[in-house]
């Protein structure tokens, strides 16, 4: 049970260059499942390793339950970590791997025995306790790595992309197992991933990172419906949100090279700061459809030529090229017959429109929340 | 063999394709005879008197003069030489292994100022032949009252074998995944404990290799021992064997018996540690 507080944390590796982690300011509540999400190289692992005590903190303070731990060595922090590589001790059996941390902490032998048994039962590792890691499958190794953290019953769990080496089916299983364990243990968990499905399904909150900085923190659906900037908007969602550059000539409507949209979510005073300036209009691929009626009376539209059709089975992705080479992707129903080169017009409800200031990439705050209409 | 090449290759690896099963066995057999032959010849000589050997170099021993071993061991002080060698070599190898492994771990794992400089100096001392230090070592040992003492010889042996040991182990330890060390830290272990419980067991194949190499090399070391030891009671085995070689007369039978005695520990050391050499211990650690 612990609150982990990152207060303006920075990390600079030797050799100059921009900081790997820049001014990260996040508080992870007691019993929370926080997901650190971001593209490769954005500083997720570095942040996690600083919390673990495996990496020094260049500036800022890190506290756990109100106690500053910047200078506390990793071995004294009572934090368990699951590594992407699993990092199992190759010369020890599964049982020894599981009990290694407990033995150090002078836990009585019967207690160790009991906890190892219990965790082995939960994770289905009981038949393999006497085996060495090299004689286990990838999924079994992954569960040993998980179990090694669980037997310790630590204050905080850290996970660095623990599922990325598993196949799709095993990944879903383990994901659900982890969610279950979080409910059972009620511990604080910090989970690093670049997989947005994991982030959306596992996190009580997600923290989207970009270039070492925190782009946005919030509940998964909140971040999805109210992205703070174009980076978050495009990072969450597959395919990424379509963005159209435009100039906002008058409040209430916007038109640019094949795109027309009414801005009904914003009251005129909300739009006042961006009138006459360059903006980005955003529409998610799943909000585009061929059906004008379904999009309502004030529907926005996108017109262009089809240049790619990708049938995925459950649905079909249709990519459209607008005037001046602007591209846009729509997620349409599987029955759609679209031919490459064909002219097409797609519609979307005005309530599905996002608006960003092109200069700052920040979202223009809407007067009506978007999630409410869906 | 030409026929073997002309045939479509049954196996993908190049060696069997060149020789074929039988050819390979033939080559290995020939090599075994080539290396084992002189050894067996020496073994027969160790149970023959020098007189018998001069009469016929290659004859089968008849009768077996086992008493030559007793003469060597008791009357010719081989017990003393053996004991001296054991003390010096076991101490030196133990120190080299422990200090070498610790140094290699530090060089492989910790970033500190001068890390690569220390490594460079160690490496450069491997390049030069150790004999060039003989004169200066002699002078230093005389200055510190370590000349003609087993302690002095042990120290010299340690310094002779340490660089290569560190070099070999550093290369191996550097390949142990960093995540294992991080995991052990998260499990609550400090640096020394990690060295003892992670590095030493995982590095065992490499450590056993250096151990055998060092043991064999020092057990057979002659040059430094003969220069730095003068007392007959302090002789190690290689100089003890040399004592049977006079200027005009060489007691071949006794030399052979002495060599056979001195070879036993080497065979034992290899038999004991070779099993540890084969296994790659990091299998299953990561991925
Ligand atoms: N030991 C190091 N020395 C110098 N730079 C480093 C070191 N480790 C990481 N970096 C740099 O810090 C930045 C952040 O790295 P980090 O490993 O935290 O990214 P990440 O978000 O975990 O990426 P991924 O999803 O690929 O694991 C990267 O630009 C990386 O090059
Ligand atoms: Mg990472």
Q: Quote the pLDDT of residue A374.
A: 41
CB of B29 within 8 Å of any CB in chain A? no
Q: Which residue ranges make up each domain of chain B?
A: 16-70, 77-247
Distance CA B66, CA B44 (A): 11
According to DSSP, residue A332 is labeled E
- Contacts of residue A346, defined as CB under 8 A and 6 or more positions apart, other chains included, come to A288, A289, A290, A301, A302, A303, A320, A328, A330
Structure tokens at A2: 């612990």
Structure tokens at A163: 């599922």
Q: Quote the pLDDT of residue B277.
A: 63
CB of A44 shorter than 6 A to ligand 1: yes
CB of A39 shorter than 6 A to ligand 1: no
C-beta atoms of A75 and B190 within 8 A: yes
Distance from CA of B278 to the nearest CA of A (A): 14
CB of B192 within 8 Å of any CB in chain A? no
Distance CA A118, CA B252 (A): 70
CATH code reported for the domain at A230-373: 2.40.50.140
Exposure string over B187-225, b if 16+ CB within 10 A, otherwise e: bbbebeebbebbbbebbbbbbbbbbbebbbebbbbeebb
Q: Is the pLDDT of residue B3 over 70?
A: no
Q: Which residue ranges make up each domain of chain A?
A: 4-225, 230-373
Q: Quote the pLDDT of residue B286.
A: 57
Residue of B141, B159, B161 whose CA lies nearest to B150? B141
Distance from CA of A141 to the nearest CA of B (A): 8
Residue nearest to atom 25 of ligand 1 (CA): A40
Residue nearest to atom 14 of ligand 1 (CA): A43
Confidence of residue B2 (pLDDT cuts 50, 70, 90): very low
The pLDDT of B181-187, averaged and rounded, is 95
Distance CA A129, CA A26 (A): 39
pTM: 0.82
Burial class of residue B163 (count of CB atoms within 10 Å of its CB; 0-12, 13-18, 19+): buried
Only one residue has tokens 């020894």, namely A96
Dihedral of alpha carbons B67, B70, B76, B81, sign: positive
Q: Quote the pLDDT of residue B111.
A: 87
Q: Which parts of chain A sit beneath pLDDT 50? A: 371-374
Helix (H) or strand (E) holding A141: helix A138-150
CB of A76 within 8 Å of any CB in chain B? yes
The architecture that CATH gives domain A4-225 is: 3-Layer(aba) Sandwich (3.40)
Helix (H) or strand (E) holding B78: helix B78-109
Top CATH class of B77-247 equals mainly alpha
C-beta atoms of A85 and B193 within 8 A: no
Residue numbers in B near A105 (CB within 8 A)? 188
Q: Quote the pLDDT of residue A46.
A: 95
- Complex prediction ipTM: 0.84
Pocket test for ligand 1, best of A9, A13, A159 (most atoms within 8 A of CB): A13
- What does residue A337 show for φ and ψ, rounded to 5 degrees? -105, 100
**B6/A153: higher pLDDT:** A153
The β-bridge relationship of strands A188-193 and A156-160 is parallel
Per-residue pLDDT tens for B209-218? 899 889 999 9
* Beta carbons of A90 and A134 less than 8 angstroms apart: yes
Ligand 1 atom nearest residue A55's Cα: 1
Q: Over chain B, what is the mean pLDDT?
A: 85
According to DSSP, residue B250 is labeled B
Q: Cα dihedral angle (A290, A295, A300, A303), rounded to 10 degrees?
A: 0
């Amino acid at each position: 049970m612990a609150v982990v507080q990152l207060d303006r944390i920075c990390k600079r590796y030797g050799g100059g260059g921009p900081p790997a982690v820049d001014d990260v300011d996040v508080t992870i509540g007691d019993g929370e499942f926080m997901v650190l999400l971001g593209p490769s190289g954005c500083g997720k692992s570095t942040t996690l390793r600083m919390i673990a005590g495996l990496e020094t903190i260049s500036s800022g303070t890190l506290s756990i339950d109100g106690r500053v731990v910047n200078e506390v060595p990793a071995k004294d922090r009572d934090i368990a970590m699951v590594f992407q590589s699993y990092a199992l001790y190759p010369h020890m059996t599964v049982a020894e791997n599981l009990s290694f941390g407990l033995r150090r902490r002078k836990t009585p032998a019967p207690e160790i025995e009991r906890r190892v048994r219990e965790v082995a039962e939960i994770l289905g590792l009981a038949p393999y306790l006497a085996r060495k890691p090299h004689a286990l499958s990838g999924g079994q190794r992954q569960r040993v790595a998980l179990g090694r953290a669980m037997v310790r019953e630590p204050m905080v769990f850290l996970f660095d992309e623990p599922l990325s080496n598993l196949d799709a089916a095993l990944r879903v299983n383990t994901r659900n197992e982890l969610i279950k364990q979080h409910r059972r243990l009620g511990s604080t968990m910090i989970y690093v991933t670049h997989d947005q499905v994991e982030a959306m399904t596992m996190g009580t909150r997600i923290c989207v990172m970009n270039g070492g900085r925190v782009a946005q923190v919030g509940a998964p659906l909140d971040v999805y419906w109210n992205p703070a900037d174009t980076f978050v908007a495009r990072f969450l969602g597959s395919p990424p949100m379509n963005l159209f550059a435009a100039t906002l000539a008058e409040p209430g409507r916007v038109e640019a090279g094949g795109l027309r949209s009414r801005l009904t979510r914003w009251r005129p005073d909300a739009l006042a700061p961006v009138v006459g300036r360059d903006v980005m209009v955003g529409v998610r691929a799943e909000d585009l459809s061929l059906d004008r009626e379904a999009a309502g009376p004030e529907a926005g539209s996108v017109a262009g030529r089809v240049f790619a059709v990708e049938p995925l089975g459950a649905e079909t992705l249709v990519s459209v090229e607008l005037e001046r080479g602007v591209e846009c992707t729509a997620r349409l129903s599987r029955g759609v017959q679209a031919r490459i080169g064909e002219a097409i017009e797609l519609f979307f409800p005005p309530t599905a429109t996002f608006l960003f200031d092109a200069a700052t990439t920040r979202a223009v705050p809407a007067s009506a929340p978007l999630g409410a209409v869906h | 063999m030409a026929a073997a090449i002309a045939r479509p290759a049954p196996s993908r690896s190049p060696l069997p394709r060149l020789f074929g099963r039988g050819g390979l066995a033939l080559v290995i057999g020939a090599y075994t005879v080539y290396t084992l032959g002189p050894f067996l010849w020496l073994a027969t000589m160790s149970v023959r008197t020098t007189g018998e050997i001069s009469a016929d170099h290659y004859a089968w021993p008849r009768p077996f003069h086992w008493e030559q071993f007793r003469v060597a061991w008791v009357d010719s002080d081989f017990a003393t030489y053996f004991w001296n060698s054991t003390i010096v070599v076991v101490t030196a190898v133990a120190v080299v292994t422990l200090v070498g492994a610790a140094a290699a771990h530090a060089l492989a794992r910790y970033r500190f100022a001068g890390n690569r400089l220390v490594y460079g100096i160690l490496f450069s001392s491997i390049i030069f032949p150790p004999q060039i230090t003989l004169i200066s070592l002699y002078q230093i040992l005389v200055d510190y009252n370590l000349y003609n003492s087993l302690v002095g010889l042990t120290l010299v042996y340690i310094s002779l074998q340490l660089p290569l040991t560190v070099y070999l182990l550093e290369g191996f330890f550097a390949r142990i995944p960093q995540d294992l060390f991080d995991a052990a830290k998260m499990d609550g272990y400090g640096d020394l404990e990690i060295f003892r419980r992670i590095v030493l067991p995982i590095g065992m194949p490499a450590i056993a290799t250096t151990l055998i190499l060092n043991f064999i090399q020092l057990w057979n070391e002659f040059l430094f021992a003969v220069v730095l030891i003068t007392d007959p009671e302090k002789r190690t085995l290689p100089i003890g064997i040399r004592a049977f070689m006079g200027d005009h007369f060489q007691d071949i039978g006794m030399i052979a018996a002495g060599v056979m005695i001195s070879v036993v520990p080497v065979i034992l050391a290899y038999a004991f540690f070779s099993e540890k050499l084969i296994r790659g211990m990091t299998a299953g650690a990561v991925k």
